[in-house]
């Protein structure tokens, strides 16, 4: 299910009992959340930013102003790491160091692609907006031209869950 590349930091999961191996469960997490943490790197300097995102079943999309730190970095290095979490609180324990997070998390890597096709841009923007409202919008051409939409083509993806019964 998960492609592994030699020397990649996302090697085999240490706590196998927490690994989500069902792609449908991973997809459900991606489809249910609104915020993705996006890790970028340029000139050996890491950069992490939260973004609103949408998942279309194969790729992740987010939008941005046409200029700024993440855009500058992506133009230098389009390789990204992303994280999406559903956090449900803390699982307490009698011992202080044994508290755990009740969560479902998806982490992956991919390549960011600047979307140029206006129809793909509009589809992505509609998916992102639909996470927050049922209102349908139109995107005037001048506004669409000044909105950057980025697609992440997923190379590798993993899921992890804790505090839920195994199905």
pLDDT tens string 2-54: 444 444 456 665 555 557 788 898 999 999 899 999 999 999 999 999 999 99
Answer whether residue 9 is part of any domain. no
Answer whether residue 4 is part of any domain. no
pLDDT attached to residue 86: 76
Answer whether residue 24 is part of any domain. yes
pLDDT attached to residue 143: 87
pLDDT attached to residue 44: 93
Answer whether residue 110 is part of any domain. yes
Percent of the chain with pLDDT over 70: 75
The total number of structural domains that make up the chain: 1
* Domain CATH for 135: 2.30.110.10
HSE-up of residue 93 (Cα within 13 Å, Cβ side): 9
Residue 84, Cβ density class (10 Å: 0-12 exposed, 13-18 middle, ≥19 buried) = buried
Answer whether residue 117 is part of any domain. yes
Answer whether residue 62 is part of any domain. yes
Count of beta carbons in the 10 Å neighbourhood of residue 60: 25
CA 167 to chain centre: 24
More confident residue, 104 or 94: 104
**Which contacts qualify for 51-58: CB closer than 8 Å, 24 or more apart?**
52/128, 52/131, 53/84, 53/128, 54/124, 54/127, 54/128, 54/130, 54/131, 55/27, 55/30, 55/31, 55/127, 56/123, 56/124, 56/127, 57/27, 58/154
Angle of CA points 103, 69, 127, to nearest 5°: 50
Q: Name the residue with tokens 């899921």.
A: 159
Answer whether residue 108 is part of any domain. yes
**Domain membership of residue 54 as a residue range:** 16-158
Answer whether residue 68 is part of any domain. yes
């Amino acid at each position: 299910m998960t492609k592994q590349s030699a020397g990649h930091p996302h090697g085999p999961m240490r706590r196998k009992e927490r690994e989500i191996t069902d792609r449908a469960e991973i997809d459900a997490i991606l489809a249910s959340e609104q915020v993705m943490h996006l890790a970028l790197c340029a000139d050996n300097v890491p950069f992490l930013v939260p973004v609103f995102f949408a998942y279309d079943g194969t790729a992740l999309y987010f939008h941005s102003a046409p200029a700024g730190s993440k855009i500058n970095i992506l133009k230098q290095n389009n390789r990204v790491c992303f994280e999406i979490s559903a956090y449900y609180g803390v699982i307490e324990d009698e011992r202080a160091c044994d508290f755990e997070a009740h969560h479902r998390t998806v982490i992956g890597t991919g390549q960011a692609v600047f979307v140029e096709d206006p129809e793909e841009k509009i589809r992505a923007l509609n998916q992102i907006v639909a996470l927050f409202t049922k209102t349908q919008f139109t995107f005037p051409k001048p506004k669409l031209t000044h909105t950057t939409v980025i697609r992440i083509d997923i190379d590798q993806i993993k899921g992890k869950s804790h505090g839920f019964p195994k199905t």
